[in-house]
Amino acid sequence: MPGEIFVEIQKVGNALRVAAIDGATAEEVVFQVPARTPRADIDTLARAKLAWKLKRCAANEKRPSKGPGRRGIEV
């Protein structure tokens, strides 16, 4: 569970781009929410996403580099 988090919010059109960083590990999550989303909901979502990422990192799980939904750009 993340402790201190740093949240940066930028308005992009009708959405907010949210970057949240865990103060202890410097792990970062970035997500978007509608522009009218209350700050308390943004903070709750940021904390939940960071907790998920920290749990995934602790289990040493990685996203698949290939497969359905992970095509990316092949050069």
Sequence-separated (6 or more) residues with CB below 8 Å from residue 37:
16
Bridge partner list, 9: 18
Task: Report the DSSP beta bridge partners of residue 33.
Answer: 16
Residues in the chain: 75
Predicted local distance difference test score (pLDDT) of residue 58 = 83
Percent of the chain with pLDDT over 70: 77
**Mean pLDDT of all residues in 26-52:** 94
This prediction's pTM: 0.74
CA distance 42 to 24: 20
How many beta carbons lie within 10 A of that of residue 67, not counting itself?
Answer: 8
